[in-house]
Homo-oligomer: A and B are copies of this chain.
Amino acid sequence: MQTSDRIIEAATRLIKKNGYRGVSTKAIATEAKVNESTIFRQFGSKQGILEAIIERHSDIPQFEKLLKEDATDNPEVDLLNVSQQYRLFFHKNADIILIGLRDKGMLPELDRVLADPPLKLHSLLVEYFERLQKKKVIARQDERLIAMSFLSMCYGFQMSELIHRQYQSQLVTEEEFYKHSVSLFVKGILSQS
Give A residues with C-beta under 8 Å from B: 17-19, 21-22, 101-105, 111, 114-115, 118-119, 122, 141-142, 144-146, 148-149, 151-157, 159-160, 163-164, 167-168, 171-172, 176-177, 180-181, 183-185, 187-189, 191, 193
* CA of A80 to CA of B171, assembled, Å: 23
Asked whether A18 and B105 contact (CB < 8 A) given A152-B152, A163-B114, A180-B149, the answer is yes
| B-side contacts of A148, CB under 8 Å | 157, 171-172, 177, 181
Partner of A168, one of B115, B154, B159, B193: B115
Partner of A155, one of B118, B159, B191: B159
How many monomers of this protein are in the complex? Answer: 2
* CA of A154 to CA of B156, assembled, Å: 8
Q: A149-B185, A152-B154, A152-B157 are in contact. List 19 more A-B contacts (CB 8 A).
A: A19-B21, A19-B102, A21-B22, A101-B163, A102-B102, A102-B103, A114-B163, A115-B168, A119-B167, A141-B180, A148-B172, A149-B177, A149-B180, A152-B156, A152-B181, A154-B156, A155-B156, A156-B159, A187-B188
